[in-house]
A = this chain, B = another copy of it.
Amino acid sequence: MDVEEFRKRGYETIDRIFSSRVEPGYLKLLLPEKAPEEPEPWEAIQSDIETKIIPGITHWQSPNFFALYPANSSFPSILAGMYSDMFNVIGFNWSSSPACTELEPIVLDWMAKLIGLDPKFYSNGKGGGVIQASASEATLVTLLAARHRILEEYKEKGANEEELRSISTRLVAYGSDQTHSCLKKAAKITNTLDRALPTDHNFSLRGVTVKQAIEKDIANGLIPFYVVGTIGTTDSAAIDKLTEIANAIKGTKIWLHVDAAYAGAALVCPEFKYLLKGINRADSFDFNMHKWLLANFECSCLWINNRYHLINALSVSQDILKNPASDSGLVIDYKDWEIPPKGLREHIRKMVRLTRQFHNKLLRYPDLFVISTPPKFALVNFHIKPNNIFTKSSNELTEIICDRLNESGKVLLSLTKMRGQSIIRFSPGSPLTTEKHVDSAFELLLNVAEGVIAYSLKN
Contact = CB atoms under 8 A, between A and B. Distances in A.
A126 interface: no
A247 interface: no
Contact of A98 (B27, B79, B98): B27
A166 B414 CA distance: 40
Given A79-B9, A319-B235, A340-B35, A17 B106 contact: no
B338 A45 contact: yes
A78 B6 CA distance: 9
A342 B76 contact: no
Contact of A39 (B15, B189, B318, B343): B343
A317 interface: yes
A191 B113 CA distance: 37
A189 to B, nearest CB: 6
Interface string A337-370: 1111111000000000000000000000000000
Contacts of A14: 6-7, 10-11, 14, 82
A60 B99 CA distance: 13
Contacts of A77: 85
Q: Which size class do A's interface residues fall under?
A: 35 or more
A260 to B, nearest CB: 17
18 contacts: A10-B14, A10-B79, A13-B82, A22-B98, A22-B99, A25-B102, A33-B109, A33-B113, A36-B340, A68-B320, A71-B88, A88-B296, A88-B297, A184-B316, A188-B314, A234-B318, A320-B414, A320-B425
A97 B234 contact: no
A6 B75 contact: yes
B34 A86 contact: no
Nearest to A343: B39
B89 A57 contact: yes
A116 interface: no
A113 B34 CA distance: 7
Interface string A388-406: 0000000000000000000
A56 interface: yes
B31 A106 contact: yes
Given A14-B14, A343-B39, A416-B319, A28 B106 contact: yes
B85 A73 contact: yes
A6 B75 CA distance: 6
A228 to B, nearest CB: 14
A72 B88 contact: yes
Contacts of A417: 319
A277 interface: no
Contact of A165 (B18, B94, B182, B191): B191
A43 interface: no
Given A11-B11, A191-B169, A89 B103 contact: no
A40 interface: yes
Interface string A56-95: 1111110000001001111111110111111111100011
Contact of A35 (B7, B9, B74, B110): B110
A12 to B, nearest CB: 9
Nearest to A1: B75
Interface in A369-396: none
A372 to B, nearest CB: 13
Contacts of A156: none
Contacts of A98: 20, 22, 24, 26-27, 56-58
A267 interface: no
Contact of A78 (B82, B180, B184): B82
B89 A60 contact: yes
A113 B18 CA distance: 33
Contacts of A99: 20, 22, 27, 52-57
Contacts of A338: 40, 45
A395 to B, nearest CB: 12
A218 interface: no
A38 interface: yes
Contacts of A457: none
A37 interface: yes
B58 A71 contact: no
A45 B338 CA distance: 8
A144 interface: yes
B83 A82 contact: no
